[in-house]
Amino acid sequence: MKEIMACLENEILVFDGAMGTMLQKHNLPIMDIQSERFNQSHPEIVSLIHRSYVEAGSDILTTNTFQSNSNKLDSKELPSVIKQAVKLARSANPRFVAYDMGPIGKMMPPQGDLTFEEAYELFKEQAILAEEAGVDLVIIETMWDLREAKAAILAVKEHTELPVFVTMTFQKNGRTLVGTDALTAALALQEYGADAIGVNCSFGPVELLPVVQTMINHGTVPIIVQANAGLPEIIDNKSVYRMTVEEYKQAVNQLLDLGVKVVGGCCGTTPEFIQAICQSIEGKGR
């Protein structure tokens, strides 16, 4: 399970792109049904999406488990949901499978009433099930509150042997939703024990350059970037992203030049985006 960290000493690794965007392309109602439920109802589509990313060049597949926690799902069904998600990702034969762990779906004080202890237990439950299902690492993603990120990191670190990658999501002002800046995030996440840190979602990769530069300047672990394909427009109840594959590829080139070690895509990105990223890496002789 530590193999991925050894690879990062000499390689740039590529994650997959968006799952929700691809489910939407297959006409599944992601606005109405929690996407994890498609693992059981439409496993052939989820498997097809995973395979398409591997064929595009992804080294790491993320499981379709972003909201697989007992706040969003019945705890009795959680083991089968996570086991099935890992099975579908593993069936595509990637180099690595990452358990995708997103926010709980409730805010911590003063915005909400989710306590640190409650968050820790919810993350712990997922982490143990994910390791039992056979993942290679955990990617804690789309975090905006360092307290929740800390609960997730500690839960994984204290109850599994899995490497932990963590990405925060930032606004245009360079801060998260609760006001954390990139420098604070980088220093704190490393202090909590994250094995790799970075940014995901947010907006396009060009706008993220200042955040990424700050993290690289103060990071002692590999830096990850999984940006959106720009900001979406809602058309006919669907999210439409206007950034082209070529524009994304050019932006990723800049990220690689800064020293980013792990790249991929978030909302709006597809296998075509991942293939372009791989071409950028090959073109730089890395």
Q: What is the pLDDT of residue 222?
A: 97
Number of domains in the chain: 1
The pLDDT tens digits of the residues spanning 221-255 come to 999 999 999 877 777 767 778 899 999 999 999 99
Confidence class for position 284, pLDDT limits 50, 70, 90: low
Q: Which domain holds residue 93?
A: 3-283
The pLDDT of residue 2 is above 80: no
* 194-199: average pLDDT: 98
CATH (domain of 18): 3.20.20.330
* 120-148: average pLDDT: 98
The pLDDT of residue 140 is above 80: yes
The pLDDT tens digits of the residues spanning 44-71 come to 999 999 999 999 999 999 999 999 999 9
* 114-143: average pLDDT: 98
Annotate the chain with three-state secondary structure. CCHHHHHCCCCCEEECCCCHHHHHHCCCCCCCCCHHHHHHHCHHHHHHHHHHHHHHCCCEEECCCCCCCCCCCCCCCHHHHHHHHHHHHHCCCCCEEEEEECCCCCCCCCCCCCCHHHHHHHHHHHHHHHHHHCCCEEEEEEECCHHHHHHHHHHHHHHCCCCEEEEECCCCCCECCCCCEHHHHHHHHHHHCCCEEEEEECCCCCCCHHHHHHHHHHCCCCEEEEECCCCEEEECCEEEECCCHHHHHHHHHHHHHHCCCEEEECCCCCHHHHHHHHHHHHHCCC
* 124-151: average pLDDT: 98
